[in-house]
Amino acid sequence: MAPLVAALEAQGWSVWWDPEITPGDEFDALIGAQLEAARVVVVVWSPASVDSRWVKGEARDAADRGVLVPVRFENARLPIDVRAIHTIDLDDWAGSRESAAFRALATALEGKLKRSAVKAAAPALKEKRPAVVVCVLPFANMSGDPEQAYFSDGITEDIITDLGKVSALSVVSRNTAFSLKSGAADVAQIARQTKASYVLVGSVRKSGARVRITAQLIGAANDSQVWGERYDRDLNDIFALQDEISKAIVAALKLTLLPEEKQALEQRGTTNPEAYKLYLMARQFWLLDNERNNEIVVRICNRVIEIDPNYAQAWATMALAQWNMFWRGDSGDDGERAAGTALRLDPQLADSHAAMGAAHRSKGRFQEGLLACQNALRLEPNSYVGNRIAGLCCLGLRRYDDAITYFELAAAGMESDFTAATFISQSYKAKGDTERMKSAARRALDRIEAVVGAEPGHSRAIGMGVAMLATLGEKERAKEWATRARLVDPENVNLHYNLACAMSSLGEIDLTLETLTDIAPRLSPGMMSWMESDADFDAIRGEPRFMALMEQVKVRFGHA
């Protein structure tokens, strides 16, 4: 505990902890008073504390008040009732304030403290009502066309983002809300699961230039409608309509918007409804994480920025797709120009910084990429893409503990993610932690199987599935998937690279080198740098054929 307290105090924070209780103090009264006064409560889970009913009680109280930030030491097994709360892993923390794990803790604390400061600025509001918890369920697509789901999902995400700008509200995360998408809408059950006081349900019907949105705010206590409305509007009114819905919810809950919150609700990345609609489509393709979608994303985003050249989010998303294409050798554009444009247009957009991090990573500049991602995470600590690319940069730097922290945050932030989940297993493999490597591989494979079940031609998922099957020792199934992968996407360099990694794990040295030899002429500079540090090939680094192959690739890029 003492090193953690010292590190937090070195950040400039005032910390109270149990050893400060003086002899004769009434323990319960003093601890209760300190907990009540604390703006943030850090609960430390250790093998000793997980068995303490006092610590469990303090954690539950802090969670109910929205001030809990839990951390874990010594591989402690978390109590069942707090496992759903994201816990920062400090198992291998060596006391450095520069480590990814401590930075993740610092970012979480800053977010809680910032929220506390906003509430303190409006004491009258705070006295009247504590933060109200709202869960926004994904709005149903009622357009009669499953392909229109991207639009209803985008509307939902924007409403979640808007309500999150209101300091008197605590909004259930996008990931948690969307994980409930396929389940039955039992409001009482959802409220219990998410600890929400209110649940917002709705539907979207888009037809041509018209859009109909229905929304109902339901009180969890008695399953009754608090507010409801149906809107039939022209698509050109979509931004005003989103503002209207958010403000109507705030009014129904008898809350008061602060001036800066009202202004924040009215800020949009674009004011052009056609650009917005197309951007939501591009974003859906990018989130599917199929490498063959990257060209589609770039094409759509190019059209978006023709309509609105100042749409920073479209530039950032295009940069991310370009990075992916450059990495696998399909394009000479690494996304750095588009990322730079996004940063110039909106330096406060986390995805702009993450996209720049991806561009650096694509050229093997892992340290620069990590710094850019850290800028993204200062703006948006739970950024999926920021955490995912930061993890990749740390993996390239062989900073495996930091990589695991970032990948865990990314996997937790996107239920459908399998890429970050796969790299968690690879990071544990590089550390020599076989038990955790296999556990992470099993979790990743569960996600991969769900993706491939829905989209049998998803080449990235299939390729990573081969690696996870190899990790789990399912050799025959891994080979079967590898055959399928080669037939599904024979020209995909990144896919074949992943297959080589899997074959190396299986001890198939000849097949590994054969696969790498085939793709060597098409490897990008970033992939060359990656291959130099990739722990999957550590077992064959001394193999003369591998050394000759590496020399050949370096000569091509003038690195010999």
Contact call for residues 284 and 249 (beta carbons, < 8 A): no
Per-residue pLDDT of the chain (560 residues; tens, 9 = 90+): 678 888 887 777 778 776 544 444 444 554 655 666 677 889 888 888 887 777 877 887 777 777 888 888 888 887 766 665 778 888 878 888 888 788 888 888 877 776 655 444 433 333 334 468 999 999 999 987 777 888 899 899 889 888 888 888 888 877 778 877 765 557 888 888 888 999 999 999 988 888 999 999 999 888 889 999 999 999 888 888 888 999 999 999 888 888 888 887 777 889 899 999 999 999 989 988 888 899 999 999 999 999 999 999 999 999 999 998 888 777 788 899 999 999 999 998 999 999 999 999 988 899 999 999 999 998 888 789 999 999 999 998 999 999 999 999 898 878 789 999 999 999 999 999 999 999 999 999 999 999 999 899 898 899 999 999 999 999 899 989 988 888 888 888 888 888 888 888 888 888 888 888 888 888 877 778 778 878 888 888 888 998 888 888 888 777 65
Q: Provide the 3-class DSSP secondary structure of residue 71.
A: strand
| 92-107: pLDDT as tens digits | 788 888 887 888 888 8
Count Cβ neighbours within 10 Å for each residue of 400-439 and write b for 16 or more, e otherwise.
bbbbbbbbbbbbbbbeebbbbbbbbbbbbbbbebeebbbe
Sequential DSSP letters for 187-232: HHHHHHHHT-SEEEEEEEEEETTEEEEEEEEEETTTTEEEEEEEEE
Cα-based distances in Å from 179 to 52, 137, 209, 539: 32, 9, 30, 39
CATH number of 2-121: 3.40.50.10140
> Bridge partners of 133?
170
CATH number of 285-556: 1.25.40.10
Q: How far apart are CA 163 and CA 251, in angstroms?
A: 12
Q: Could you give the angle at the alpha carbon of 96 between the alpha carbons of 80 and 401, nearest 5°?
A: 55
- CA 68 to chain CA mean position, Å: 20
The three-state DSSP-derived secondary structure of 118-144 is HHHCCHHHHHHCCCEEEEECCCEECCC
The three-state DSSP-derived secondary structure of 22-41 is CCCCCHHHHHHHHHHHCCCE
Q: How far apart are CA 321 and CA 282, in angstroms?
A: 10
Residue 195 gets the label, from left (phi > 0), alpha (psi -120 to 50) or beta, of left
Give, rounded to a whole angstrom, the gap between the first and last alpha carbons of the chain. 49
CA atoms within 13 A on the CB side of 503: 19
Count Cβ neighbours within 10 Å for each residue of 496-510 and write b for 16 or more, e otherwise.
bbbbbbbbbbbebee
Contact call for residues 100 and 391 (beta carbons, < 8 A): no
| 309-362: pLDDT as tens digits | 999 999 999 999 999 888 877 778 889 999 999 999 999 899 999 999 999 998
Same CATH topology for 128-268 and 285-556: the answer is: no
Query: What tokens appear for 447 in the block?
Result: 């996600």
C-alpha dihedral sign at 50, 55, 59, 61: positive
Residue 366 gets the label, from left (phi > 0), alpha (psi -120 to 50) or beta, of alpha
Query: What tokens appear for 262 in the block?
Result: 């009202």
User: What does DSSP assign to residue 153?
Assistant: H
pTM of the model: 0.69
How many CB atoms sit inside 10 A of residue 397's CB?
15
CATH number of 128-268: 3.40.50.10070
Q: How far apart are CA 548 and CA 557, in angstroms?
A: 15
- Residue 128, C-beta contacts closer than 8 angstroms, at least 6 positions apart: none
Q: Give me the residue spans of the domains in the chain.
A: 2-121, 128-268, 285-556
Axis crossing angle, helix 350-362 with helix 525-533, rounded to the nearest 10:
80
